C-alpha cells in the first residue's frame, strides 16, 4: 500500500520508488500455473456433435471486431493465453490487512455514522481506510485500487458528510456505465437514509425528460455517464458552476470507452477551485495527463497488489478446430457447480443470440448489452442478482464496477479485446472473501 503526492512538474507520484506505469503481473505460464484440465492441445474433453462451427454460431471468437484499431484481440498468442491460467494455490500466508481506523473512528455526522454501522460496515477496506481521512479534509485524492475493493463507499461517505456540513454543496459523480451509475445511487440512498437530501441518476437509454425534471429540484448528488451529462449541459438543464465536488469513478474505463472529450468538457464547465476524487484501476499516460490537468496536488493512494484477484481460479478451455464452442458451453452449464454464471461475448448481436439459444435449452439466461433499454438491462441484472436467472450473457458494458454477489463463474466465450478488459471481466467473481472461477474459451487455429 502506498500513499504519495502528485508532482505536477514530473507528472507523477512522489512516493518513493513507485512507478506510474500500469502494473502487469508476471505471466503464470504453464509451469507456474500447474497442469490445466482444459488446456491440453491434444483436444477438448467435450465431445462435438456438429452444429455450429468453431467460427460460426454465436460471437466471433477469432480476429476482427476488437476495439482500439479493430484487428485482433487479446489472447491469440500462446504467451497471451498463458495469462488466462492462474491457479489459486496458496503457498505462503499473505499478511492480514489491519486498518488504522474503524468506521466508528471517522469524524462524520452521527446520523450518517449510524447509517454506515447499520449496514454492517465495521472495518474499512484498504482503499477506504486510506482515502476517507484525506477526503474528509477536502484534499484531492487519486485512488488506485482493484475492482471490488469498496471504492464507492470510499468517496460516498466523506462526501455525504461534506454535503451535510456545507450548506448548498453539490456533488457530481461520473461513471462509465449506466449500471454502475445506478449502483452508486443505490449505495448513496442507503448511506443517506433520513438525512434530508436526494441524489439522481442521469444516464442514456432512459427518457431524458424525467431527468431534466429531477435536476430542477437541485439534487445534492448527480450521478451520470459522460454522454448523458453532456446532453444535459447542452440543453442547459445542468449548470455545473453549482457543483464544488466531482468524482471520476472507473476513470480508465471511461477513457477506454472514448469519453475523454466529454470528460474534459464537463470538467471545464466546473469551478476551477473544486474538490476532485479520482478512482482508477490502472495508471496510464492518458490518466496521468488528466490528473495533471484537473487535480490540485492530489494525494496518491495505491492499494493495488496484483491485477487479478487471488480468489479467482483462472483456466482456459481449448476448442479444437471445427469443434462447436456453444456445445461446450451448454455442457459446462449442466454442472451444478455453475450456479451463477456471467458469460462475456464481444458483440451485442452475438450476446443476444447466445442468451436466446441457451433459453431454448431450458437454461435460465438473460442478456445485457447496449441495444437494450436501461429498464430492460436493470431488470436482467436484478433477476441475475436475485438468483432468478442462472446465466447472464453480457458485453463488456457489464465488466466494470458492478457488485454482483456470489458469481460462481465468469466465462469468456469470446476473447477480450485487451488484457485490461480480461481483468475487469473476471473481477465479477471471487469478490471479497469468496472464491470464483474464470474460464476462457480459446479456439485452436491448426
Q: How do strand 141-144 and strand 341-344 relate by DSSP bridges?
A: unpaired
Quick: pLDDT tens for 377-395. 889 988 998 999 999 999 9
pLDDT at 28: 34
The yes-or-no verdict on residue 46 having pLDDT over 80 is no
Give the helix, strand, coil percentages of the chain, each rounded to 5: 35, 15, 50
Q: What pLDDT was estimated at residue 92?
A: 39
pLDDT band at 19 (very low <50, low <70, confident <90, very high): very low
User: Who wins on pLDDT, 95 or 232?
Assistant: 232
Instruction: Give the model's confidence band at 424: pLDDT under 50 very low, under 70 low, under 90 confident, else very high.
Output: confident
Residue of 174, 281, 315 lying closest to 233 (CA atoms): 174
3-class secondary-structure state, position 422: helix
Distance CA 86, CA 127 (A): 25
Residue 342: what pLDDT? 94
Burial 156-188 (b: 16+ CB within 10 A, else e): bbbbbbbbbeeeebbbbbbbbbbbbbbbbbebb
pTM, to two decimals = 0.65
Which of 121-130, 138-147, 157-166, 296-305 bottoms out in mean pLDDT, i.e. has the lowest?
A: 296-305
Q: Give the SS3 label for residue 442.
A: strand
307 pLDDT higher than 60: no
Position with higher pLDDT, 96 vs 168: 168
**Section 179-194 average pLDDT:** 94
Kindly list the structural domains of the chain, giving each domain's residue range(s) and its CATH number in brackets, ordered by start. 2-14+96-302 (3.40.50.300), 34-91+310-443 (3.40.50.300)
Give the residue-averaged pLDDT of 121-135. 93
Residue-level pLDDT at 434: 79
Q: Please give the average per-residue pLDDT across 4-22, as a whole number.
A: 46
Calpha distance 341→319 (Å, rounded): 20
Q: What pLDDT, in 10s, does the model give residues 323-378?
A: 889 999 999 999 999 999 999 999 999 999 999 999 999 999 999 988 888 788 88
Residue range 410-437: mean pLDDT, rounded = 84
Strand order in the sheet with 409-412: 312-319, 436-443, 409-412, 341-344, 391-394, 365-368
Q: What is the pLDDT of residues 237-258, one digit of tens each?
A: 999 998 999 999 988 888 878 8
How far apart CA 176 and CA 259 sit, in angstroms, is 8
Amino acid at each position: 500500500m502506498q500513499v504519495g503526492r502528485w508532482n505536477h512538474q514530473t507528472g507523477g507520484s512522489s512516493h518513493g520508488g513507485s512507478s506510474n506505469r500500469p502494473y502487469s503481473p508476471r505471466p503464470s505460464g504453464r509451469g507456474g500455473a500447474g497442469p490445466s484440465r482444459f488446456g491440453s492441445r491434444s483436444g477438448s474433453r467435450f465431445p462435438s456433435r456438429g452444429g455450429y462451427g468453431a467460427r460460426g454460431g454465436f460471437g466471433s471468437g477469432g480476429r476482427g471486431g476488437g476495439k482500439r484499431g479493430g484487428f485482433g484481440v487479446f489472447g491469440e498468442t500462446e504467451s497471451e493465453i498463458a495469462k488466462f491460467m492462474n491457479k489459486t494455490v496458496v503457498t505462503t500466508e499473505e499478511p492480514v490487512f489491519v486498518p488504522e481506523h474503524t468506521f466508528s473512528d471517522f469524524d462524520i455526522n452521527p446520523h450518517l455514522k449510524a447509517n454506515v454501522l447499520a449496514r454492517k460496515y465495521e472495518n474499512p477496506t484498504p482503499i477506504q481506510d486510506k482515502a476517507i481521512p484525506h477526503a474528509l479534509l477536502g484534499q484531492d485524492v487519486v485512488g488506485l485500487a482493484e475492482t471490488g475493493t469498496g471504492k464507492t463507499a470510499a468517496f460516498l461517505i466523506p462526501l455525504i458528510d461534506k454535503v451535510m456540513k456545507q450548506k448548498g454543496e453539490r456533488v457530481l459523480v461520473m461513471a462509465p456505465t449506466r449500471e454502475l451509475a445506478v449502483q452508486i445511487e443505490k449505495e448513496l440512498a442507503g448511506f443517506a437514509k433520513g438525512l434530508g437530501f436526494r441524489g439522481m441518476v442521469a444516464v442514456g437509454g432512459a427518457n431524458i425528460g424525467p431527468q431534466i425534471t429531477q435536476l430542477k429540484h437541485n439534487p445534492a448528488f448527480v450521478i451520470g455517464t459522460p454522454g448523458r451529462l453532456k446532453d444535459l449541459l447542452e440543453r442547459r438543464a445542468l449548470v455545473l458552476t453549482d457543483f464544488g465536488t466531482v468524482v471520476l469513478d472507473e476513470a480508465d474505463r471511461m477513457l477506454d470507452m472514448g469519453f475523454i472529450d466529454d470528460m474534459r468538457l464537463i470538467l471545464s464547465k466546473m469551478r476551477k477551485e473544486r474538490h476532485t476524487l479520482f478512482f482508477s484501476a490502472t495508471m496510464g499516460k492518458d490518466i496521468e495527463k488528466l490528473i495533471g490537468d484537473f487535480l490540485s496536488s492530489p494525494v496518491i493512494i495505491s492499494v493495488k497488489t496484483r491485477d487479478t484477484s487471488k480468489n479467482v481460479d483462472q483456466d482456459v478451455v481449448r476448442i479444437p478446430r471445427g469443434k462447436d464452442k456453444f456445445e461446450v458451453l451448454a455442457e459446462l452449464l449442466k454442472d451444478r457447480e455453475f450456479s451463477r454464471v456471467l458469460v462475456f461475448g464481444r458483440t451485442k448481436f452475438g450476446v443476444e443470440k447466445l442468451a436466446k439459444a441457451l433459453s431454448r435449452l431450458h437454461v435460465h439466461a438473460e442478456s445485457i448489452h447496449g441495444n437494450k433499454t436501461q429498464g430492460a438491462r436493470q431488470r436482467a441484472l436484478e433477476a441475475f442478482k436475485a438468483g432468478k436467472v442462472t446465466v447472464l450473457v453480457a458485453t463488456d458494458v457489464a465488466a466494470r464496477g458492478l457488485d454482483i454477489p456470489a458469481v460462481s463463474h465468469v466465462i469468456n466465450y469470446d476473447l477480450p479485446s485487451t488484457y485490461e478488459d480480461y481483468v475487469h471481466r473476471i473481477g465479477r467473481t471471487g469478490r471479497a472473501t469468496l472464491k470464483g472461477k474464470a474460464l476462457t474459451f480459446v479456439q485452436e487455429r491448426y
